[in-house]
Amino acid sequence: MSLANKSALFHLSDVGKDLLRGLVPDGDPFEAFVMSEDEVGAWIMAGASSPPTGVPSVPVTLIKWEYVKSVNYEHLIGGADSGVDESLLA
């Protein structure tokens, strides 16, 4: 299951809140659009809920998984990248 190209709500750990203060929006959780992700963390556009359009570049921030408590997003069951065995949902 991938978070890439999705809008998500990030809940940071206490350490993450301290270290990322000023780099991500205040508040818990905060919304961000995930540009890409890997085993280290997620590259996000903080405060955005959709991909950029009509611009040559955008600022992104790496949120390391070690600073994230949880992530919430809307998951489309049966989507191409769902990774969910739909037979388990019946």
**Cα torsion through 15, 27, 49, 74, rounded to 10:** 80
pTM beyond 0.85, yes or no: no
Q: What is the DSSP string of 6-29?
A: EEEEEEE-HHHHHHTBTTB-SSSS
Q: pLDDT for 40-70, tens place per residue?
A: 999 999 888 888 888 888 888 899 999 999 9
Report domain extents, the chain: 6-89
pLDDT confidence bin for 12, thresholds 50/70/90: very high
The pLDDT assigned to 90 comes to 47
> For residues 10 and 30, is the Cβ–Cβ distance under 8 A?
yes
pLDDT above 60 for 7: yes
